[in-house]
A and B are shown apart, each in its own frame.
Chain A
């Protein structure tokens, strides 16, 4: 810019070359993003379009779809058609599963935040050489498959499991406490599965926190509680937001955990949708349910981000 201002009349060769170089490098950068864009297009956008189209079709008797336009899938989400007089009756079954899934996801997010924050704070306040070891420990669960880990939980909490056997042996209880295939089991499984996704972004935020600011707040008469609420939490807000999103969204769509620990009795959205493509043989309904979930998440996200980001992240 300054070159152009200094010698504006005869645009120097150097400036021309520079402009050319900027243009080529911009083009090259765009080219570099192409593979990622192709992958997102083929495996992200295209399936979404298919889901969208399928949700407006009619279910074929043995799975698949018939190419015939219909909004039945969306109607079936809230209503059931009476077989005899063809009237629509309000059936909240799906809605209840959705609300319960939201509740599970919200509780999971809140508890993960409450457990994850002190953990991340502890990690971030260790000597730098120790911190990587703590991060490693947090990521150890990722080394084995979620399915295997969920089955392990099953063995721990079932009636003849570790906990019940231990309590029985100690004489604390005289008959096993039923934990498996309850809401408790699902909640426990979700917490276990998603806690690292909360801890890691919180840690990366807290690790960057300038602890001299904490000292400054103490110096200015802030008590421990005030330091936490007025300095540490506001400054780690990016990590809190990221952690909550990384826990809430996958928890909402969790499939394996509720399937195994809920025993197919306590359904969550993920299982419900999967059912439509399996035993339900109603692909359009499954597609509609998936899209409704996505829309709900987007709306929730919009309000969440609007409420949390505005206040803090200006500077």
Chain B
């Protein structure tokens, strides 16, 4: 559908946002630059207070950047008030108008744009169908459930056909099952409407399952931007690795480097080859990151790259986590096994075990 597949919907260039004055100054965003492509499901992921909502509010126009520019299809929108930006928001609190019906809420944006009545009605009907709320269109927003309010909020924001839809933790108020449903629903809506979605969340699982690309944020900075697989398999920084999924950190020493792959020696003098982020030159003492499912347990310690004692076994239904206390520094290392009907070996706590690594399992972190 897009004429130029790589075209940017939103470009954030060197944006800084400082709140407060004098000694109370807080930089909510510290010179952030990021490009969001057209028709992309882009997620801003980070813990609370990392600046992700601030960035979203700057794009929406509720706040104005202290420095830098925000381009929408190449045009600087930073000085425009929110009602002049072809961008709509789904609020965390939904912010539905309590004095209007479901249909009136959905039609509000179009009405404010001065669209003819017939067009508004047709579009509202279409939106009601899209979010499956036709039956409740005459209800007050106080008379529908949280999940339904969520759908109305989505329909209301989509009705004016914005260039970009901003979603500020829209699923955080829903219970687990409804959240799962809405995740799929959101993906479907994004596919059907072809609108660029910018989604803010602190839930890494939500980010991984829904996004085309993720920007991981911390303390007002974007640490890494990439596809979910990039972010998960090739975290650039310790914070990213730690924030997303479970992670093992292993200390080691770089022995040699060749073509983006370093050979790292453990304390036990075993070695492993590990990739490292582009433009980073690892030397000396480094930290390796290994995902629990990229390592394997072997009953014979001599066959493991590193060895340890099994300290705990946690059963999760779909998989089992083995906690291994490593020989030498005594660090905890977690190995995840997917459970199957015929698990060949049974382990017991206290047993000596070895840990093997899959190829490319380890990455050198820049920290």
Contact = CB atoms under 8 A, between A and B. Distances in A.
Report if A and B associate in a common complex.
yes
Nearest to A237: B99
Nearest to B93: A212
A35 to B, nearest CB: 37
B99 A315 contact: yes
B142 A315 contact: yes
A222 B99 contact: no
A218 B81 contact: yes
A219 interface: yes
B307 interface: no
A217 B105 CA distance: 10
- Chain A at the B interface: mostly helix, strand, loop or mixed? helix
Contacts of A315: 98-99, 140-143
B89 A219 contact: yes
A212 B156 CA distance: 15
Contacts of A86: none
B95 A213 contact: yes
Contacts of A213: 95, 97-98
A287 interface: no
A219 B83 contact: yes
A13 interface: no
Interface string A217-228: 111111100100
B88 A218 contact: no
Contact of A219 (B88, B93, B98): B88
A9 to B, nearest CB: 37
Contacts of A234: 99
B112 A216 contact: no
Contacts of B156: 220
Interface residues of A, number: 20
Contact of B62 (A215, A221, A223): A215
A314 interface: yes
Given A220-B160, A221-B112, A215 B99 contact: no
Contacts of A210: 93, 95
Interface string A303-315: 0000000001011
A235 interface: yes
Nearest to A220: B109
A231 interface: yes
Contacts of A215: 62, 82, 91, 95
B99 A220 contact: no
Contact of B83 (A221, A231, A235, A314): A221
B168 to A, nearest CB: 10
B121 to A, nearest CB: 17
A235 B88 CA distance: 22
Interface in B66-123: 81-84, 87-89, 91, 93, 95-99, 108-109, 112-113
B362 interface: no
Contacts of B62: 215, 218-219
Contacts of B96: 216
A213 B81 CA distance: 16
A222 B114 CA distance: 10
Contacts of B60: 219
A315 B81 CA distance: 31
Contacts of B140: 314-315
Nearest to B86: A221
Interface in A223-278: 223, 226, 230-231, 234-235
B95 A312 contact: no
A132 to B, nearest CB: 22
Nearest to A231: B97
Contacts of B109: 220-221
B83 to A, nearest CB: 5
A216 B142 contact: no
Nearest to A218: B82
A235 B99 contact: yes
B167 to A, nearest CB: 12
Given A221-B109, A222-B112, A315-B140, A216 B95 contact: yes
B98 A221 contact: no
Nearest to B82: A218
B141 A212 contact: no
A180 B60 CA distance: 55
Interface in B107-155: 108-109, 112-113, 140-143
A213 to B, nearest CB: 5
A217 B108 contact: yes
B97 A216 contact: yes
A307 B62 CA distance: 36
B58 to A, nearest CB: 13
Interface in A170-217: 210, 212-213, 215-217
A220 B112 contact: yes
Contacts of B61: 218-219
Interface in A6-52: none
Nearest to A215: B62
B107 to A, nearest CB: 10
Nearest to B81: A218
Given A213-B95, A215-B62, A231-B97, A220 B142 contact: no
Given A210-B95, A235-B98, A235-B99, A216 B160 contact: no
B178 to A, nearest CB: 22
Given A231-B97, A315-B140, A216 B89 contact: yes
A199 to B, nearest CB: 23
Interface string B29-64: 000000000000000000000000000000011100
B97 A222 contact: no
A230 B157 CA distance: 17
Nearest to A211: B95
Interface of B: 60-62, 81-84, 87-89, 91, 93, 95-99, 108-109, 112-113, 140-143, 156-157, 160
Given A213-B98, A219-B82, A234-B99, 14 more contacts: A210-B95, A215-B62, A215-B95, A218-B61, A219-B62, A219-B157, A220-B156, A220-B157, A220-B160, A221-B109, A221-B113, A222-B108, A231-B97, A312-B99
7 contacts: A216-B97, A217-B97, A219-B88, A220-B157, A221-B113, A221-B160, A223-B83
